[in-house]
Structure 1
Amino acid sequence: MTVSAKFDMSLSVSQAGSNAFSSGPFWSAATAFSKALANGTTANKVNLAYVAERTVASGANDDIDVAGSLVDALGASIVMAEVVAILIKNEGKDGAPNTTDLTIGGSTSGVPGYTAAVATICPGGWYAIGSPDADGLAAVTPSTGDILRITNAAGASNKYTIAILGRSA
């Protein structure tokens, strides 16, 4: 199977104000980022993609094994040797935000860099990180360093969206 991916992020900001002399100054700025990743296992490439809507119970963990238990959208097994990018949205595919926070990381068998909690995502929030260089974001070690833990705060079950891009070698 062939995988290609593209990260697009943009931010537009405007600010208006008033003062004693007029309706005030107006300021705006924009920044954007776009990164295409071709199929492969070297720098600026990925050959594995996991994209899903997942549900985690109230006060529970969702342990995602990136080196053994995942399947891609076409049903093929995913065994990542490197994680290249992660995107997590604290909302389901329908865009409805949840009522509980999600915490990323905290498994003793965590993907390197994720053995401790690294971020908390509020309802409607997101987490995105990527490193397309030759080393990727993290090297995966099956059985001892292959879990991406998502912990849901107590209060309600949580349906979230996740995308993980990686390499098999």
Structure 2
Amino acid sequence: MPMISDFSLTASVLQTKAQDFTLTSDPLSRIWSTHLESGTSAGQADKAFHDQRTLAASATEDLDLAGILTDVYGATITFVRVKGLFIAASSSNTNNVVIGAGTNPWATLLNSTGTVTLKPGGWCGFGAGAGDAVGWPVTAATGDILKVTNSAGSTSVTYDVVIVGCSA
């Protein structure tokens, strides 16, 4: 099944300062983007997983990138390489969403002990460039778990996740 993916990150900042007779401004506008065609080589991806998920208070879950997740058609997804990962914590969360290390961690992005903490409303995104044929490799059974944790025991957390990658 053909698939086309586009990732982008935009930074827009406008600083101004009143001078004696003028207003000086410093506009910044940067866009970093990647376009991936269907396939498994450089500039390509052929698998996608996306979902909105909720974790109970103090709960954790393992997103198994090799053989457990299913796509929107119900087919099991086995990522061999990840080309894009995007996670956003709901702004209505009270607790943080922590992603990263666990048992059999997918260590090629955050190393074996690294984590990223998303405060309520926070988000992060990682994208391989279009010329990158490898992305972040996944090793089935020993290096394929992206652990997601609710940071506290008071309330549940909701988060959105999008993963795009290759089957080979």
| 1:92-141 CA distance string (max 9 Å, x none) | xxxx442211111111301123431331111111111122411112x212
- Equivalent AA in structure 2 for residue 99 of structure 1: T
Once residues 116 and 130 of structure 1 are traced to their aligned partners in structure 2, the CA distance between those partners, rounded to angstroms, is 20
Conservation of the 8 A alpha-carbon contact between 1:103 and 1:117: no
Q: 1:121 aligns with which of 114, 118, 123?
A: 118
Mapped pair 1:152 → 2:150: yes
Conservation of the 8 A alpha-carbon contact between 2:101 and 2:107: no
For 1:12-27, what aligned pairs fall within 5 Å after superposition?
A: 12-18=12-18, 21-22=20-21, 24-27=23-26
For 1:48-127, what aligned pairs fall within 5 Å after superposition?
A: 48-91=47-90, 96-113=91-108, 114=110, 115-127=112-124
Conservation of the 8 A alpha-carbon contact between 1:38 and 1:44: yes
Conservation of the 8 A alpha-carbon contact between 2:34 and 2:128: no
Deviation at 1:26, TM superposition (A): 2.2
> Corresponding residue for 1:162?
161
- Equivalent AA in structure 1 for residue 138 of structure 2: V
- The structure whose residues are more often strand, as a share, is 2
Once residues 27 and 83 of structure 2 are traced to their aligned partners in structure 1, the CA distance between those partners, rounded to angstroms, is 33
Aligned residue pairs, count: 163
Deviation at 1:61, TM superposition (A): 1.2
Name stretches of at least 5 consecutive residues in structure 2 with no aligned partner: none
Deviation at 1:33, TM superposition (A): 1.8
Once residues 158 and 10 of structure 1 are traced to their aligned partners in structure 2, the CA distance between those partners, rounded to angstroms, is 26
- Equivalent AA in structure 2 for residue 15 of structure 1: Q
Mapped pair 1:46 → 2:24: no
